[in-house]
């Protein structure tokens, strides 16, 4: 159960987005579990995150072993591997993660993640494009 003080978070997928997110959370004093199926990326983060695990996040058994259902928050930062994103999101929701953020690479992908029940869907390219439009037109309000 969430205490409100539990600053643990799982970041699944340590690509550009996941890495940037995980590192910022570490700077803010959070405990970050990073998961990636790419050994090179896991090695790269060994000393920068609280814990890093080499695993296929689509494997339900792996999620159980890592006790991800006990995390109050998780972010699925897998993008272009759409099938892996969908499977991982579905498994984490089934495991009962209470606050799940999922990244999408297209509006259609985002719609699927929403239908699965993801609590927050992020579309980094679309959202950043909108923000840059505000910036270049000099409309700084709501940035
Ligand atoms: P970014 O733009 O953030 O660099 P991306 O949107 O291109 O990433 P992907 O390359 O699909 O997204 O995935 C991001 C990371 O997730 C990669 O480092 C990849 O190794 C990892 N990943 C993909 N599938 C799995 C999986 N099944 N289990 C664990 N990690 C995975």
Give 106-129 pLDDT, tens digit per residue: 999 999 999 999 999 999 999 999
- Dump pLDDT digits (tens) for 3-18: 457 999 999 999 999 9
What are 107's two structure tokens?
């509006």
52 lines ligand 1 (CB under 6 A): no
**According to the model, what pLDDT value does residue 106 have?**
96
Q: Residues 6 or more apart from 133 whose CB is under 8 A from it?
A: none
pTM over 0.90: yes
SS3 at position 10: strand
- Dump pLDDT digits (tens) for 48-105: 999 999 999 999 999 999 999 999 999 999 999 999 999 999 999 999 999 999 999 9
Token pair 């840059």: residue:
132
91 lines ligand 1 (CB under 6 A): no
**According to the model, what pLDDT value does residue 139 have?**
58
Q: 102 C-alpha to center of ligand 1: Å?
A: 12
**Nearest Cα to Cα of residue 120 among 73, 68, 59:** 73
ipTM of the complex: 0.96
34 lines ligand 1 (CB under 6 A): no
In this structure, the residue with its CA closest to atom 5 of ligand 1 is 79
What are 86's two structure tokens?
């969908």
How many CB atoms within 10 Å of residue 41?
Answer: 18
Cα gap 8→101, rounded to integer Å: 14
80 lines ligand 1 (CB under 6 A): yes
**According to the model, what pLDDT value does residue 98 have?**
96
**HSE-CB of 81 using CA atoms within 13 angstroms:** 18
Ligand 1 nearest atom to the CA of residue 82, by list position:
11
**pLDDT bucket at 140, cuts 50 / 70 / 90:** low
């Amino acid at each position: 159960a969430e205490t409100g003080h539990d600053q643990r978070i799982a970041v699944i997928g340590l690509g550009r987005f996941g890495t940037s997110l995980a590192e910022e959370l570490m700077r803010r004093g959070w405990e970050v579990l990073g998961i990636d199926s790419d050994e090179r990326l896991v090695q790269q983060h060994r000393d920068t995150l609280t814990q890093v695990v080499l695993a296929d996040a689509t494997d339900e058994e792996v999620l159980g072993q890592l006790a991800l259902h006990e995390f109050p928050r998780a972010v699925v930062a897998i993008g272009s591997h759409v099938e892996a994103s969908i499977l991982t999101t579905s498994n984490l929701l089934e495991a009962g993660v209470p606050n799940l953020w999922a990244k999408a690479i297209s509006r259609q992908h985002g719609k699927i993640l929403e239908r699965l029940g993801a609590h927050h869907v992020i579309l980094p390219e679309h959202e950043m494009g909108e923000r840059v439009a505000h910036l270049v037109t000099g409309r700084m309000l709501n940035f």
